[in-house]
Amino acid sequence: MRYLTFALAKGRLAKTAMKMFESIGIECEEMKDEKTRKLIFVNEDLKLKFFLAKASDVPTYVEYGAADIGIVGKDTILEEDRKLYEVLDLGFGKCRMCVCGPKSAKELLKNHGMIRVASKYPKIAKDYFYNKKHQTVEIIKLNGSVELAPIVGLSEVIVDIVETGTTLKENGLDVLEEVCPLSARMVVNQVSMKMEDERIRKIITDLKDKISEKVI
């Protein structure tokens, strides 16, 4: 039996995903040691490997087959636009991709004015404004604390993740439009889906059962 390799987006998603995997018998003792500097973790009995990666790199590992399975947010899947199968909505890490800004920017959006849009997600922002709204805008790529952009006059609006809404509220900004809902997803390499069909399908079915148990 060959190893099945999992790439997990570092941080909260990985922690919740590992709990979910444990509930279906997929576990990795080595990974529980919070102090370890190891990058790859192995479960020899089950022939499984796990590694943590920067979220935006997870789809890359999966597309190239360095990982068979990836756990990553829908935001990253949309932004990276890699060739892979998105097989399951894991139902956690729920939040929304939104156009946000000061209330005064609402008019600019309505009138389809030429505006500047700052975002960590230029592809999602471009797709939303050009293909969905048919509005020409200038997209400015930022790498974090995007809420600053409309406050300091870099852009009129931002396209960013809204979870609790606290960051917006504390900075006098509002959700102006919703782009799409987001949550953690399981993605699979296209070749692995064929070669390891049985093992991967069982994981999907077991996870689906767990997810529906929680809903009921």
Residues touching ligand PRP: how many (CB under 6 A)?
13
In the numeric block, the tokens 């796990």 are attached to 50
Which string of x and - marks every residue 104-143 that binds ligand PRP (by CB under 6 A)?
----------------x-----------------------
Q: Which is nearer to ligand PRP, 69 or 105 (by Cβ)?
A: 105
- Taking the C-alpha atoms of residue 13 and residue 16, their distance in angstroms, rounded to an integer, is 5
Alpha-carbon torsion (7, 63, 189, 182), positive or negative: positive
In sequence order, the 6+-apart residues with CB closer than 8 A to the CB of 156 are: 101, 105, 108, 115, 116, 117, 150
Burial 55-74 (b: 16+ CB within 10 A, else e): bebbbbbbbeeebbbbbbbb
Any contact of residue 57 with ligand PRP (CB under 6 A)? no
Among 165, 195, 204, 208, binds ligand PRP (CB under 6 A): 165
Any contact of residue 145 with ligand PRP (CB under 6 A)? yes
Of residues 167-206, which lie at the interface with ligand PRP (CB under 6 A)? 167
Q: Which is nearer to ligand PRP, 57 or 147 (by Cβ)?
A: 147
Any contact of residue 164 with ligand PRP (CB under 6 A)? yes
